[in-house]
Structure 1
Amino acid sequence: MTPFLVTERSDAILTVRMNRPETRNALSDPEQMQEFVDLCAQLKRDRSVKVVILTGTANAFCAGGNIKDMRERGGIFGGSPYELRENYRNGIQTIPLALYELDVPVIAAVNGPAIGAGLDLACMCDIRIAGDNALFAESFVRLGIVPGDGGAWLLPRIVGMPRASLMAFTGDTIDAAKALAWGLVADVVPAAALEEEAMKLARRIAANPSHALRMTKRLLREGQHMRLDSLLELSASFQALAHYTEDHHEAVAAFIEKRAPEYTGK
């Protein structure tokens, strides 16, 4: 079977495409979830990757759960209530645990509808940019179910509780312009230019030392649930490590000498 995640490497940037255009890149098969987990494990080991771009093939980012599978009680939606619970815990819920905790910065290039679990998947990324054709919906309630993959935790931290509640309680779809106004996405660009703009952003990020990027992301993640004094302790430890890297010394030397730095990842 063709992999769900198709990857393409450009220097220190890895583009990852969800590749099920016939289902608008819906998430239902355990194998799809495992591909996300395996990819994140690989990225933890590969220190040469500085940025990941996540996008979808064709005209959709991700349509969420496969509704046909829901109707037929197939994929992760099959079995008894106990089995369903385990399917969620060992299936789609492994994606936020793996992707959200990944130290590599991740850009979601939302190239079309990001619906239900698709919206939540975009929220697991660090930065979201959207084509002007993108659509967003926390639509679980319209199917008589709840956000089962972390959306109730993720979405309020991005758009705030009132707007997250509005999206979750109505299931309404918002367009790219409203997503930008609400802070759900950082930028909206013409659909035809989305991948180019995502790559430009990725290159700006990848121009920095990999160790500093990964530790900065970890601090941002930990800062969401730590006290200030605890975060400062962690920051001091990370900073001590950063000061002893070769890339830090190169950055300082390049700044003083007014030249472009040459980083080695050491």
Structure 2
Amino acid sequence: MNPFLQVERHGAVVMVRMNSPETRNALSEPGQIQEFVDLCAGLRRDQSVRAVVLTGNGKAFCAGGNIKDMQNREGIFAGSPYELRDTYRNGIQQIPLALYELDIPIIAAVNGAAIGAGLDLACMCDIRIASEKAVFAESFVKLGIVPGDGGAWLLPRIIGIPKASLMAFTGDTIGADKALEWGLVEQLCSAEELETEALELAQRIAQNPGHALRLCKRLLREGQHMRLDSLLELSAAYQSLAHHTQDHSEAVNAFVEKRKPNFKDQ
């Protein structure tokens, strides 16, 4: 069986492609979920990775859960209410815990439909850029269910409570232009240019020292639920670590000497 995630290395950037175009990259198999968890565990250990790009093969980014499995109560949708609760907790909910909490900056290159869990998956990333053909929907309510993978926490933090409520309560689909207007995505480009644009952005990010990127992302994450004074304490601790890295010294010396720095992730 072919892996769901295709992983390519481009220097300090990792490109990840969901590869089930026949299902529009639907997320319904335990193996698919485990691949995300394993990928994040490996990336966490690899200090040479400084940015990640996540996209989908085919016409969709990710269509969310497999509706045929829902209809037949198969796969991750099988079992009693108690069993389903544990299936969510031990299954798809492991993706936001692994992906959102990964310290490496992640760019979602949304090539097509990002629906339901697919939209939530894009929201787990730090930055979203999209094809002009992309569409987005927090569509759970249309199937009589609720966001089960963190969307109710993620989406309001990106576009605000009123717009997130509109999307969640109607389940309606919005186009790429509306997504840009609402701040759901940061950039639109043609379908042909999407991966190139995403990789170029990732490479710009990856030009910076890896330790600083990881600490900066962690501060941004922690700042969403900490008091200012607590965040300042954490910032001081992180800054003291950053000041004593070799890459900080190299960055300062390169700036003064007007040359390109040579970072070694040390």
Q: TM-score surpassing 0.5?
A: yes
Q: How many angstroms apart in 2 are the aligned matches of 1:57 and 1:244?
A: 42
Query: Aligned runs of 1:101-116 on 2, under 5 Å?
Result: 101-116=101-116
Q: How many angstroms apart in 2 are the aligned matches of 1:17 and 1:75?
A: 23
Query: Aligned runs of 1:17-36 on 2, under 5 Å?
Result: 17-36=17-36
Q: How many angstroms apart in 2 are the aligned matches of 1:204 and 1:128?
A: 15
Counterpart in 2 of 1:54? 54
Counterpart in 2 of 1:149? 149
Q: How many angstroms apart in 2 are the aligned matches of 1:106 and 1:2?
A: 24
- Scaled by the length of structure 2, the TM-score of the pair is 1.00
Q: Cα offset for 1:124?
A: 0.2
Counterpart in 1 of 2:201? 201
Query: Aligned runs of 1:123-138 on 2, under 5 Å?
Result: 123-138=123-138
Report the 3-state secondary structure (helix = DSSP H, G, I; strand = E; otherwise coil) of the residue aligned with 2:54.
strand
Query: Aligned runs of 1:118-197 on 2, under 5 Å?
Result: 118-197=118-197
Report the 3-state secondary structure (helix = DSSP H, G, I; strand = E; otherwise coil) of the residue aligned with 2:53.
strand
Q: Cα offset for 1:3?
A: 0.6
- Which amino acid letter does the alignment assign opposite residue 211 of structure 1? H
Q: How many angstroms apart in 2 are the aligned matches of 1:191 and 1:163?
A: 26
Q: How many angstroms apart in 2 are the aligned matches of 1:159 and 1:196?
A: 26
CA-to-partner distance for each residue in 1:58-97, whole Å, 9 max, x for gaps? 1110000000000011111001111111110011000000
Q: Cα offset for 1:40?
A: 0.5
Counterpart in 2 of 1:43? 43
Q: How many angstroms apart in 2 are the aligned matches of 1:74 and 1:204?
A: 43
Q: Cα offset for 1:192?
A: 0.8
Report the 3-state secondary structure (helix = DSSP H, G, I; strand = E; otherwise coil) of the residue aligned with 1:191.
coil
1:262 pairs with 2:265? no
CA-to-partner distance for each residue in 1:180-203, whole Å, 9 max, x for gaps? 000000101111100000011001
Structure 1: 5+ residue runs without aligned partners?
none
1:8 pairs with 2:39? no
Q: How many angstroms apart in 2 are the aligned matches of 1:46 and 1:94?
A: 20
Percentage of identical aligned residues:
73
Counterpart in 2 of 1:71? 71
Q: How many angstroms apart in 2 are the aligned matches of 1:34 and 1:234?
A: 32
How many residue pairs match? The answer is 266
Q: How many angstroms apart in 2 are the aligned matches of 1:104 and 1:49?
A: 7
Counterpart in 1 of 2:210? 210
Report the 3-state secondary structure (helix = DSSP H, G, I; strand = E; otherwise coil) of the residue aligned with 2:61.
coil
Q: How many angstroms apart in 1 are the aligned matches of 2:116 and 2:28?
A: 12
- Which amino acid letter does the alignment assign opposite residue 74 of structure 1? E
Report the 3-state secondary structure (helix = DSSP H, G, I; strand = E; otherwise coil) of the residue aligned with 1:55.
strand
- Which amino acid letter does the alignment assign opposite residue 80 of structure 2? S
Q: How many angstroms apart in 2 are the aligned matches of 1:102 and 1:219?
A: 12
Q: How many angstroms apart in 2 are the aligned matches of 1:94 and 1:255?
A: 41
Structure 2: 5+ residue runs without aligned partners?
none
Q: Cα offset for 1:151?
A: 0.2
Report the 3-state secondary structure (helix = DSSP H, G, I; strand = E; otherwise coil) of the residue aligned with 2:192.
helix
Counterpart in 2 of 1:245? 245
Report the 3-state secondary structure (helix = DSSP H, G, I; strand = E; otherwise coil) of the residue aligned with 1:165.
helix
Q: How many angstroms apart in 2 are the aligned matches of 1:88 and 1:213?
A: 31
- Scaled by the length of structure 1, the TM-score of the pair is 1.00
